[in-house]
Structure 1
Amino acid sequence: MGVAGYLTAATPPRLAVGGIIVALPVLAVEQLGDVGVGGLLVAAALGPSIVAAPIVGAVLDRTRRPGAFVAGAGIVTAAAFTVAAFLGVVPAGVVALALVVAGIATPFVMGGLSSFVTEVIPEERRAYAIDALAYNLGAVAGPAAVAVAASFGSARVATLLMAGSALLGAIGTIPLRLRPVAGEPHASMLRTIAAGFRHIATHRPLAVITSSGTLSQFGAGGLAIAAVALSVQRGGDAGGGALIVTAFAIGGLLGALWNSARPPRFRPEVTMGVGFAATGAFTVLAALDIGTTWTIAAIGVSGLFTAASSAAMLLIRKQQSPPSLRSQVFTVGAGLRAAAAAAGAAVAGLAAGLGAEALIVAIGLVWIASGAMLVVYPRHAPAIDGTAT
């Protein structure tokens, strides 16, 4: 299937997740008049990943039919987002419960699918550049769809579009015919999970990049909430927040297109650290109140650096993981990032009254701190799977 087949399977579910974190706050304002509820719903959608991730990873490492699980997760997500679209008709508690179910399924279509990319695209750096491109394509199209729908006064339609995208991803997974990476399991499920956690926590290269990647998402998770709050504060239009998030996503897409064509040859930990820090610096600059155009432009530039740093992080995950634990390393890493994003969204929603500019600055500082953490990455760490770093 190659690049086109992988993008067809990987982009739609990431579009759905990227769009839903923007759609929910706008939908909450539209139906309930409360952006804080939107932040809590985003947290409900993303938070369960941290609990589900090790189990999902162990399942994918052990199953003979990983594709069936990935496709099934897409179907579950589509159903949950359909329920969420009727917030205001359906009680918020029921919507939150549906989003929790979607959050449990998320590791299958996010980190889980990433763990198989080199089985579809053999060259490592290109494979993870394409994987990062799939994330960024989804991140652009999702908020853009929400922005267009919100401009016509219907975040509900946007949420239904996200449900449809998740379903398309499930269908696109089938032709990939995903096959197991590891051999037959020789330990129980609990021992497999314990081995995965032990490897992530004690293997220094993985511990460093997992901590850095998780912290970065705590800031990133609050961006949609801060953008909506900033838009309301300056112009009174909640839908304008989607334009700010879309600018970030477009910057990420442009960076991803460049990165997929010309993957950097620097050590991956250098690419990751510098990229995170640069994203943070431009996010801080976006808080300056010198016009909407400036805010959108600065946020857009901040997104340029995310694809290369994310691809570098994914490459390190693969190189520093034995095949028997690879899916678990990817899903736990993705789950931690999703949980951090959920926490960031919840904190941003609760802190929205403190001032949108302050939230934007705090988000930028978190990105900078996550980049600085790569200073302690061990230089010239050998790859466990024998590939060159």
Structure 2
Amino acid sequence: MKRVVLIVMDSMGVGALPDAEKYGDKGADTFGHIVLENSNFEIPNLRELGLGNIPGVADGKLKIDEPVGDFGKIKELSIGKDTITGHWEITGLETKTPFKTYPDGFPKEFMEAFEKKIGVGCLGNYPASGTEIIEELGPEHEKTGKPIVYTSADSVFQIAANTDVIPLGRLYEICEAARKLLVGDWACGRVIARPYIMENGKRVRTSDRKDYAVSPSGETLLDKVKKTGKTVYAIGKISDIFNGQGVTQAVHTDNNMDGVNKTITALKQRFEGFIFTNLVDFDSKFGHRRDPIGYGQAIMEFDHRLPEIIMAMEDDDLLMICADHGNDPVHSGWDHTREYVPILVWGKKIKAGMDLGVRSSFADIGATIAEYLDAEPTHIGESFLKEIF
């Protein structure tokens, strides 16, 4: 009974790609800068898997003599540095034309059509930090009932609302209306519901975020595993990223540790197939908020839980850990950064300590998983299965 568990440490890049300067990301190094900013940074389990042995990672400070996992780093082939681009490439799709972005806000014609559709005007409509804009426009939103609209350097249309003002179900309806309109000349990669509540006088975003993505541009690894009759178990925002395509079972998560809990729950069930987990807090709570201390703490918390994941694995299970882009918490702005991502592999039967090198596409991960699960090959990517067995 073969299974692969792929855990995406959302945004944990390991150094700027050669073309990072084109994206305004020269010198970005999410993980390296976190190590520098955290004086008591201890991640014994990730080090044991080989994270510190990846060339260039943390200047070699975390290297050990005999890692039990296999390790490497991977370039992004696609044009972009966003969630959809990264996850789609992991599963075998290259994005050659970047998703349209809106650095000056969404067009007047679209906003008029959107407001007519939902029956109310909107606030904002400019690039902003999600936590900052709800503080800036929250009072007016709460007084008028108008939803807060904003974007970022990514192709996203984000709608924030106090759920005491706009109930969660209504917020989702508003997002669904936007999703239907954001096509053609108004194309956009994702619509994101960003609910918040008042807690001790502060505006706090909740875990009821929901992403409305465009469907993948072709068959992904998820489709190919599903066609074999095996399970594709999506944890966290994975199902949203793929618009449900190729998913046989999906569970929502409240935070990183809930994602770990649900990954362990999935491992304890009896099925063959693919468990695909996204741990979003690294990105949403710490990368975008430029909080290297919180990011470091979150990595240490995940590291502490790794033995539980490994203990739940069967003899033929493979564990892979990667990222989907960077989000350097000491970089300027509050957006993603164009970086290499790590790849760590562990299983009871692998050859330990293999250096997988610098690989040319995130899709090598999907190609390896497809081969291991006896699924059709992905569109792009070179499997490294023979290197680890």
Structures share fold, TM-score greater than 0.5: no
TM-score interval for Structure 1 and Structure 2 normalised by the shorter chain: under 0.3
Higher-strand-fraction structure = 2
Q: TM-score, normalised by structure 2?
A: 0.25
The structure richer in helix per residue is 1
